[in-house]
Amino acid sequence: MTRTNLSMSISADGYVAGPDQSEQHPLGVGGQQLHHWHMGAAANHPVNRQVASEMMDGMGATIMGRNMFGPIRGDWADSDWKGWWGDEPPYHCPVFVLTHHPRDPIEMGGGTTFHFVTDGIESAYALAQAAAGDRDISIAGGASCARQAIAAGLVDEIDLQISPVILGSGERLFEGFAAGQPALELARTLEAPGVAHLRYRVVH
């Protein structure tokens, strides 16, 4: 059965990106601190390797927001931007990017093709389901895309990688939800130096 997983690195005060996102600060000011668990020597810790593998390996399709894809705003015009990840992005599957502005698909190395979806999260999800077949679907972020997927009832699991970092401002994952929504059950806890990995099951 296809599983839809949302996995995000998050600060202790609930932010998944810092303020003032830009090409120089794609994760917002200070946001890079949330990702030390899968960078450098920390990436070799067996727990971190397991979580990173679960996040990326074998996914049938990925959905992300335009802010995660890049810093360009408004019409794409003649932009040649192809994402932050170089010629071979780490997704290795079709990626559906939420945007208000149409753009032709971009085929990259390693099996990643970026498709640009202008009619909302549910349309992107239907396309992802068709592409994924019986494989899992990843909601990669950023915060707005994740909130839309949660609000639409599309997410089965939420994996949070919690770092002992206080950002103070930026993009909150659970901004705007009513008390008790979404309903969550703690399904798993894992620990590595400097990070706690929590898995929640979403109660539909």
In sequence order, the β-bridge partners of residue 9 are: 161
Exposed, middle or buried by CB within 10 Å (0-12, 13-18, 19+), for 29? middle
Report d(CA 145, CA 151) in Å as an integer. 10
Cα distances (angstroms) measured from residue 90 to each of 9, 83, 167: 17, 11, 27
Alpha-carbon distance of 164 to 75, in angstroms, equals 38
Mean pLDDT value across the chain: 95
Per-residue pLDDT tens over the stretch 68-90: 999 888 899 888 999 999 999 99
Altogether, the residues listed in the chain come to a count of 204
Q: Are 124 and 116 in contact (CB under 8 A)?
A: no
Cα–Cα–Cα angle for 11, 122, 148, rounded to 5 degrees? 25
Question: 120-174, pLDDT tens digit by residue?
Answer: 999 999 999 999 999 999 999 999 999 999 999 999 999 999 999 999 999 999 9
**Structure pTM?**
0.95
